[in-house]
Amino acid sequence: MEGKRPERQATLCIVIDKEKKKILLGMKKRGFGVGKYNGFGGKVLPGETIEEAALREFQEESEINANLSDLKKVAEMDFFFPHKQDFDQTMHAFLVEKWDGEPKETEEMAFEWFDLDKIPYDKMWDDDKYWLPRVLNGKILKAKFVFKLEGNEHVNAQQEIKEVNSFQLSTKDEISKKM
């Protein structure tokens, strides 16, 4: 997986209730990916580590509390949109299996719990069906997805996924170099 990586860094937290075998997804009411089910996340801001941004965005969007130590990084994915390069971004995905409180609908997100075997991939980003099942099976992944436009939809045109052993925590220095 060589080559230039996106400058923009984004996060995604995926909440799993292991006991009930359910996943919590939000329907995005505005912004990038509106109308799609997804986990919770957004852009990394200057001065934040990726993990800090992941926790902040998660709490802002879901109003659920979690601790940094309960975020487990499970994937790092580079998304490329050759037809709209402004959208290019690296997304850092985390699993959250321990949290406090109930999700509350916010201005940005409405919520739904889905059985793990009934994840609505047809209403999610086109890449999710490739990586999320593997992450839910305990794999840790590095991936690259290239999208193309079909009508109004960004569809996956090309992909590369590889398994890794783990990720190191990010540092502020490493991120500020990219901003």
Q: Does 54 bind ligand 6OG (CB under 6 A)?
A: no
Q: Does 42 bind ligand 6OG (CB under 6 A)?
A: yes
What are the structure tokens assigned to 157, written together?
A: 């045109």
Find the binder of ligand 6OG among 73, 127, 144, 170 (CB under 6 A): 127
The span from the CA of 102 to the CA of 154, in Å, is: 32
Residues 8-37 that bind ligand 6OG (CB under 6 A): 10-12, 31-33
Instruction: Provide the 3-class DSSP secondary structure of residue 128.
Output: helix
The span from the CA of 27 to the CA of 107, in Å, is: 11
Nearer to ligand 6OG, 8 or 22 (CB): 8
Nearer to ligand 6OG, 19 or 142 (CB): 142
Find the binder of ligand 6OG among 128, 135, 140, 143 (CB under 6 A): 128
What are the structure tokens assigned to 19, written together?
A: 């006991």
Select from 11, 87, 76, 47 the least CA-distant residue to 177. 47
The span from the CA of 171 to the CA of 51, in Å, is: 9
Nearer to ligand 6OG, 19 or 178 (CB): 178
Other C-beta atoms within 10 Å of 172: how many? 13
Nearer to ligand 6OG, 19 or 75 (CB): 75
CB 147 within 8 Å of CB 78: no
Dihedral pair phi/psi, residue 114, rounded to 5°: -120, 145
CB 111 within 8 Å of CB 22: no
Nearer to ligand 6OG, 19 or 152 (CB): 152
Find the binder of ligand 6OG among 41, 90, 92, 143 (CB under 6 A): 41
What is the nearest approach in angstroms of ligand 6OG to the Cβ of residue 98?
20
Q: Does 96 bind ligand 6OG (CB under 6 A)?
A: no
Return residues touching ligand 6OG (CB under 6 A).
10-12, 31-33, 38, 41-43, 79, 89, 91, 125, 127-128
